[in-house]
Structure 1
Amino acid sequence: MDKTVTSSTSGGKGFLRAMMFQHMRWEYLAAGVSGGVISTLALHPLDLVKIRFQVHEGYGVALTRRPQYQGLIHALKSIFSTGGFQGLYQGVTPNFVGAGMSWGLYFFFYNSIKTWMQEGNTKKALAAKEHMLIAAEAGLLTLALTNPIWVTKTRMCLQYEAGAASSTQYKGMLDALVKLWKYEGIRGYYKGFVPGILGIAHGAIQFTLYEEMKNRYNQHKGRSIDYRLGTLEYLGMSAVSKIIAATCTYPYQVLRSRLQEQHSTYEGVRGFYKGIPVYLVHVTPNICIVFMIYEYVINWKTWQNKDAWTDDS
């Protein structure tokens, strides 16, 4: 009797473990991390300028505390003239750590949930509402794990050049995390979390459009939905889906940056689309790099597995 119960319990645990882990593929994590890190290192200066434009309250406001930029090129030149190349990469450590973790975890959660909903059959098409649900779940899980890193990135990007006073100076990412916990506690780590939740819609719209475009394109060509496309096709679909998602949801990023900054208690938003030109210039090539690297890493891994199957047979 005891043996039967033990065997049943053991079998039940084994079943749960199988349900939890059978659809998890770690190459999605590796692909997302690779794309996130490379795109961030290449485009961080644009991200830095974007954040500064988002919190800019207008000319004549706190002139002694913040530099005044007249546009993207002027901002880049001003930052470089004051801080050199290092100035353009201020806050890059939490940015590439956060981007690597976020894209890695997002792709990992997204594809694990997606494969589970497809019951392991990659040729099974899902509805748009299912893609949106998967993206929302993946976004919430990722945000909960990475929000403290994004707060440190915003704070470090808003440490202005000489002559612009700041209430707290951070020596690096670790120092920022320690000081956030010391002076602001858990609430400091999760500043901007609520608008971040609103921003989950960004990923949901983007991934739904991206998946739908890939599926419909392959169906139009008479191919299975998991058929691997060419570089230009991936670039085009990722760019279009990102621009549409960004335009629809950009205001949450302005609100999030303002809630996360430390220079003032000002939280009103007079311009929901403040800094969006810089954002689009930054985010369009960014997402193209991320998705291109992601698709090619997954494609390489898939063909590697096929070769292994062939060798075994």
Structure 2
Amino acid sequence: MTTMKNPNSSSSKLALLSHIKYEHLVAGISGGVTSTLILHPLDLIKIRFAVNDGRTATVPRYDGLSSAFVTIVKKEGFKGLYRGVTPNVWGSGSAWGFYFLFYNAIKTWIQGGNARTPLGPGLHMLAAAEAGILSLLMTNPIWVVKTRLCLQYSEEHIADNKRYKGMVDGLSKIYRTEGIRGLYRGFVPGMFGVSHGALQFMTYEEMKNRYNQYRNLPIDFKLTSVEYLTFAAISKLIAAVGTYPYQVVRARLQDQRGAYTGAWQCVRDTWRYEGFLGFYKGLKPNLARVVPATMITFLAYENVSHYLLNRTREMTLS
């Protein structure tokens, strides 16, 4: 049975640092950037659906996914579909990079350096949750800018100090007008979102492990592309449906038009005016984006990480 090491000992901390491998960072960034560039328009539409509470007059309303595409292109041009793409690329690339980096370091540390030691659902969720918290601390400001850029519909509705030309301009203006607190809007519901990653990674890892054990192969045995895609899709569907409400709350808190004083008020008002379904606004475009995005991300990550790790081993042996 695998046991947790004492996290207070200096030797344990040094052991954890020794398991940090740049290959996981590079592979995670590769997967996140690739999927974001392909699927950003769906992310933008999901955000606009999520913040549409039916009470804010300046928020555009779309009849459905296809209607949203047509309306945005007609009113904002094709580039309107890619509003906020720069911080999204930075955010998604860095978030996936850090997540895979931290997750694999923590997981390998728990395994005692033996990648073929099965952890079980509980420890997989623990490693994923810790990696999620660390990643969120580093990337939340980028997500705030990305959300607000996606919600810039027209010039007349936003004051100059709230209209951003890009990621750097957005970060500086938010810091000047709202301080550090502004850069970490949505952080609390984002913390609840750690459960999303923990559930997804636990499901993904357990499916891979059980599948390889069924075939009497080591749990770290490389799978085919179809197998990676299948496990990634199933794990994402389960996590997305189970934890989607926090994304609605987070997007509404990050929208500068919102009048919510905190996460609890947002939850209360959404339930009061929109009911249960209000917490699932934008779910359809979200699933249309996140499931293929996760499939692309995980496939790219698995192949790039296996390639880099094998190359590092060969260089070490030669």
TM-score normalised by length of structure 2: 0.89
Count of aligned pairs between the two proteins: 295
When residues 211 and 256 of structure 1 are mapped into structure 2, their CA distance, relative to the original with a 3 A threshold, is same
Partner deviation per Cα, 1:158-200 (whole Å, 9 max, x = no partner): 001366x124211111111111111111110111010000010
User: Does 1:300 find its partner at 2:292?
Assistant: no
CA contact (8 A) 2:233 2:292 kept: yes
The residue type paired with residue 84 of structure 2 is G
When residues 70 and 162 of structure 1 are mapped into structure 2, their CA distance, relative to the original with a 3 A threshold, is farther
User: Does 1:153 find its partner at 2:132?
Assistant: no
User: Does 1:190 find its partner at 2:184?
Assistant: yes
Instruction: Name the counterpart of 2:216.
Output: 222
Instruction: Name the counterpart of 1:135.
Output: 128
Aligned mates of 1:285, 1:22 — CA distance in 2: 33
Q: Compute the displacement of 1:204 (Å).
A: 0.5
- Gapped regions of structure 1 (runs ≥ 5): 1-11
Which one of 154, 162, 166 corresponds to residue 158 of structure 2?
A: 166
Instruction: Name the counterpart of 1:89.
Output: 82
CA contact (8 A) 1:101 1:146 kept: yes
Instruction: Name the counterpart of 1:121.
Output: 114
CA contact (8 A) 2:16 2:106 kept: no
CA-based RMSD of the aligned residues comes to 1.6
Partner deviation per Cα, 1:21-44 (whole Å, 9 max, x = no partner): 211111000001111111101100
Which one of 67, 78, 95 corresponds to residue 71 of structure 2?
A: 78
When residues 220 and 27 of structure 1 are mapped into structure 2, their CA distance, relative to the original with a 3 A threshold, is same
Q: Compute the displacement of 1:84 (Å).
A: 1.6
Aligned mates of 1:75, 1:85 — CA distance in 2: 12
Query: SS at 1:122's partner residue?
Result: coil
Aligned mates of 1:33, 1:62 — CA distance in 2: 36
CA contact (8 A) 1:82 1:161 kept: no
Instruction: Name the counterpart of 2:99.
Output: 106
Q: Compute the displacement of 1:66 (Å).
A: 2.4
Aligned mates of 2:51, 2:96 — CA distance in 1: 25
Aligned mates of 1:237, 1:62 — CA distance in 2: 39
Instruction: Name the counterpart of 2:42.
Output: 46
Which one of 272, 276, 282 corresponds to residue 283 of structure 2?
A: 276
TM-score normalised by length of structure 1: 0.90
Rg bigger for which structure? 1
Instruction: Name the counterpart of 1:212.
Output: 206
CA contact (8 A) 2:95 2:139 kept: yes
Q: Which runs of 4+ in 1 moved over 6 A?
A: none
Aligned mates of 2:297, 2:110 — CA distance in 1: 24
The residue type paired with residue 240 of structure 2 is A
- Gapped regions of structure 2 (runs ≥ 5): 1-8, 261-265
User: Does 1:57 find its partner at 2:53?
Assistant: yes
5 Å-filtered alignment, 1:31-42, equals: 31-42=27-38
Aligned mates of 2:18, 2:44 — CA distance in 1: 40
